[in-house]
Amino acid sequence: MTTLHNASVRHFASDNYAGAHPEVLAALAAANGGHQPAYGDDLYTEHLGEVFARHFGEGVRAFPVFNGTGANVVSLQAMLPRWGAVIAAGTSHINNDECGAPERIGGLKLLTVPTPDGKLTPELIATEAWGFGDVHRAEPHVVSITQSTELGTLYTPAEITAITEYAHAQNMRVHVDGSRLANAAAALDLPLRAFTTDAGVDTVSFGGTKNGLVFGEAVLVLNPDSASGVDYLRKMDMQLGSKMRFVSAQLIALLEGDLWLRSAAHANAMAARLRGTLDRAIAEGRAPGLSFAQPTQVNALFASLPAAAADRVRADFRFYDWDAATEQVRWMTAFDTTEGDVDAFAAAIISALAG
């Protein structure tokens, strides 16, 4: 097949723009050939359960799926009764970026809470944690948080523990949308279980695609009492792969060694490099009109950039508007972003602002 794109070009729109890590592609090739049982009864999926147990503790049940929306829908469905509701931040992916799938496909109700930084607290959760036993209101049964958040901010283990303790006291469970869980672990310099299993989290949607997989995420049930019927829901929601070994092999390649951490830490470092370069330009008066809306803690930057300058930069680099009304944009780095990519992008931003 003829290559249709320039493989030297990097953009800053999403870590989903990146290709697959070579070690992941090698794992796919290694898992190929011969026959293996279908629908997750293969040796790779069996071994994947052992790999996840090393990171999240014995007793974790892992269910590979195709994508993050599928992981979230299956997780939340498994945690809720038919009349149940999920409390989530207004900025959450399940609220804004899944085309209504949790509600339309999952059949659940989202109760959203405004937050300044994408993070929930027990006090914010309490604003929607009411109406238990009232047949006129969808009953809150789950709190869903994102780590790292959609605004690139981080929960500490203590903050997540406070949420789980409050939720459990209200007879609610806690779900973590972990599409960038690896980036959070790298930034916090903590093992994955430190802010999930050890903090009292019940289920996790574990992300792989944004960290170098071709495709594949996983539903992780950390508390066996928090979710039921995942096997059936995964099939109902069209997330059960017949050739499951190819999803599992990728996740094994990511998690059996330190690839997950190397890749996430590199993406974070490239975001920090970009932020540092632009902060210096702002301090030196070389970036008029540029400011940042949130701290840069992982591989996401949220900047206020005049629209005219943004259009000039987009001539060479793709990125998304986050809030066009306030001229806020989002820049993302990935496992394959290089220092040269960052420096060229920063120079283009500074030049566009000067022009």
Q: What is the pLDDT of residue 171?
A: 98
CA distances from 33 to 40, 242, 244, 249 (A): 16, 15, 14, 13
State the pLDDT confidence band at 355, using cuts at 50, 70 and 90.
Answer: confident
- Average pLDDT over every residue of 240-259: 98
> Are 329 and 204 in the same domain?
no
Q: What is the pLDDT of residue 140?
A: 98
| Domain stop point among 199, 229, 257 | 257
> Are 65 and 208 in the same domain?
yes
State the pLDDT confidence band at 323, using cuts at 50, 70 and 90.
Answer: very high
> Are 267 and 252 in the same domain?
no
> What's the chain's length in residues?
355
The string of pLDDT tens digits covering residues 153-199 is 999 999 999 999 999 999 999 999 999 999 999 999 999 999 999 99
> Are 119 and 204 in the same domain?
yes
Residue 3 within any structural domain of the chain:
no
Asked whether the CA dihedral 181, 186, 187, 191 is positive or negative, the reply is positive
CA 257 to chain centre: 20
> Are 168 and 240 in the same domain?
yes
| Domain stop point among 230, 257, 284 | 257
Q: What is the pLDDT of residue 302?
A: 98
- Average pLDDT over every residue of 101-109: 97
What is the CB-side half-sphere exposure of residue 11 using CA atoms within 13 A?
Answer: 18
Cα separation, 86 vs 110, in Å, equals: 5
* Inter-residue contact 62 to 219 (CB < 8 Å): yes
| Domain stop point among 232, 257, 282 | 257
Structural domain including 334 reads 260-354
> Are 146 and 65 in the same domain?
yes
Q: List residues bridging with 220 in a β-sheet.
A: 62, 204
Residue 327 within any structural domain of the chain:
yes
Q: What is the pLDDT of residue 278?
A: 98
Q: What CATH number is associated with residue 322?
A: 3.90.1150.10
> Are 99 and 238 in the same domain?
yes
Residue 337, number of CB atoms within 10 A of its CB: 25
The string of pLDDT tens digits covering residues 186-241 is 999 999 999 999 999 999 999 999 999 999 999 999 999 999 999 999 999 999 99
State the pLDDT confidence band at 248, using cuts at 50, 70 and 90.
Answer: very high
